[in-house]
Amino acid sequence: MRSWLKFARKFNPSSARGVAKPEIVTNRQIFLQHIGQTSEAPISLEISRAEGCKLYDVDGKEYIDLIGGISVCNTGHGNPKVIGAIEQQLHQYLHVMVNGELVLSPQTRYARLLTEHLPGSLNSVFFTASGTEATEGAMKLSKRFTGRTQIAAFNRSYHGSTQGSLSVMGSEYWRNAYRPLLPDILHLEYNSFESLEAITEKTACVIAEPIQAEAGVKVPGSSWMRALRDRCTQTGTLLVLDEIQTGFGRTGTLWAFEQFSIVPDILLLGKALGGGMPLGAFIADREIMQVLSHHPVLGHINTFGGHPVCCAAGAASLEFLLEERVVETVMGKQQKFLEGIDTRSVRDLRGRGLMMALELEDFPTNKKVIDALLADGVFTDWFLFAPECLRIVPPLTITEDEIAQACQIINRNLKKVLG
Ligand code: PMP
């Protein structure tokens, strides 16, 4: 008997006797058995539908979404303009050839739209398939352009989970298990003037988030951000700003770097870039970007970067943000949350725009609140480097009524858990 058949019969003895045993298998069981797990206790909520700022589970229960796919769904779930663009592109073509060889109008249209809304020096867009690939590409580009090897990043920063991005991640807890990682990495203290002295003529690039998201929404001082920019300019180091989470209006301006009056040499985008579809990008001046095209040729390549459907969705999503003037509503909506949440029993409520963190005493307390909120119809979670903080990062299209409803549910459950 062929070995796989023997194995199958051993695994499922009923098939050996030719008797089909009816089994009731739920999607949750399949999820736990056949999907690679990333934690020992996944949320395991089965979503059947999402619309606007609401999620619906298979039992028809409604949840206000305060995660927004972790800053992905800025224009709301099922945005008709985005869906329309996807449908239209589906009928033209899906994948045709590895990225970078053919002229694909969804890519050119989106690159043009993006660069029209960026400073003049950010004029060349390299599309990737994810955020972490954008980080990887920017690190390679910086090394090639400067001829240097050292890369600096900041404690409690997150730039992705592949090994290069992991090397610059700002937490030894997550890095350590995967050593050896990239050599010649400096980890500096965020928002510290002293730490900037470590950036020298040996440093190829510094990678920073303009506002640290997974640190529990940490906004640096404007003067520090400008000092970082100056130090990079003085030492010939490229400044890479990771706006994968802060981009597309999340913090009240289209790009967070505008708030600090600086311009990066390389900009990283992802998450909301694809309007709900997988897409990333690193963007630089053509003069910098062109080094990837020779010695060696194909300096960074991928199969799916800039996928036509993802670019069509992303462009429609950005057009929606601009046409509907969504970004202009963000600070007012933050204010509604600040006024609506009863902060008497919490440590802090902070953030910029619709990227907010509600700080509780510790992770166990936060987890109790998160679980209670889920049971009561609000979907939220915690931050990677700030597990004591509850995430408030809804689609930017959230309405004032939905904010009021979310605040009411949050207050009710804070009271229930904290007393
Ligand atoms: N940078 C930041 C700031 C992020 O928040 C993330 C994702 N959480 C990434 C990079 C990595 O993006 P991706 O998960 O698409 O690889």
Q: What is the mean pLDDT of residues 37-59?
A: 95
**pLDDT per residue over 153-176, tens digit each?**
999 999 999 999 999 999 999 999
Tell me the HSE value of 79 on the side-chain side, using a 13 A CA sphere. Answer: 29
Is the pLDDT at 48 greater than 80? The verdict is yes
Is the pLDDT at 13 greater than 80? The verdict is no
Q: Which band of pLDDT confidence, cut at 50, 70 and 90, is reported for residue 151?
A: very high
Q: What is the pLDDT of residue 96?
A: 95
Is the pLDDT at 6 greater than 70? The verdict is no
Is the pLDDT at 214 greater than 60? The verdict is yes
Residue 374 in contact with ligand 1 by CB distance below 6 A = no
Domain ranges of the chain: 32-78+326-418, 81-323
Please provide the CATH number assigned to the domain covering 32-78+326-418: 3.90.1150.10
- Neighbouring CB atoms inside 10 A of 174's CB total 14
CA distance 69 to 356: 15
Q: What is the mean pLDDT of residues 63-87?
A: 98
Q: What is the pLDDT of residue 140?
A: 98
Q: Which fold has domain 81-323?
A: Aspartate Aminotransferase; domain 2 (3.40.640)
Residue 160 in contact with ligand 1 by CB distance below 6 A = yes
Residue 159 in contact with ligand 1 by CB distance below 6 A = yes
Q: What is the mean pLDDT of residues 71-84?
A: 98
CA distance 127 to 107: 8
Q: What is the pLDDT of residue 18?
A: 57
What global pTM score does this model have? 0.94
Q: What is the pLDDT of residue 399?
A: 98
Q: Which band of pLDDT confidence, cut at 50, 70 and 90, is reported for residue 203?
A: very high
Cα–ligand 1 centroid distance for 161 (angstroms): 8
CA distance 196 to 189: 9
Percent of the chain with pLDDT over 90: 93
Beta bridge partners of 383: 386
* Of 216, 243, 252, 253, nearest in space to 392 by CA: 216
Is the pLDDT at 3 greater than 90? The verdict is no
Q: What is the pLDDT of residue 24?
A: 81
User: Of 128, 130, 158, 381, which is best to mutate to test ligand 1, by the most ligand atoms within 8 angstroms of its C-beta?
Assistant: 158
Average pLDDT of the residues of the chain:
95
Question: Range with the lowest mean pLDDT among 2-11, 99-108, 276-285, 365-374?
Answer: 2-11
The full length of the chain comes to: 419
Residue 245 sits at φ, ψ, to 5 deg, of -100, -30
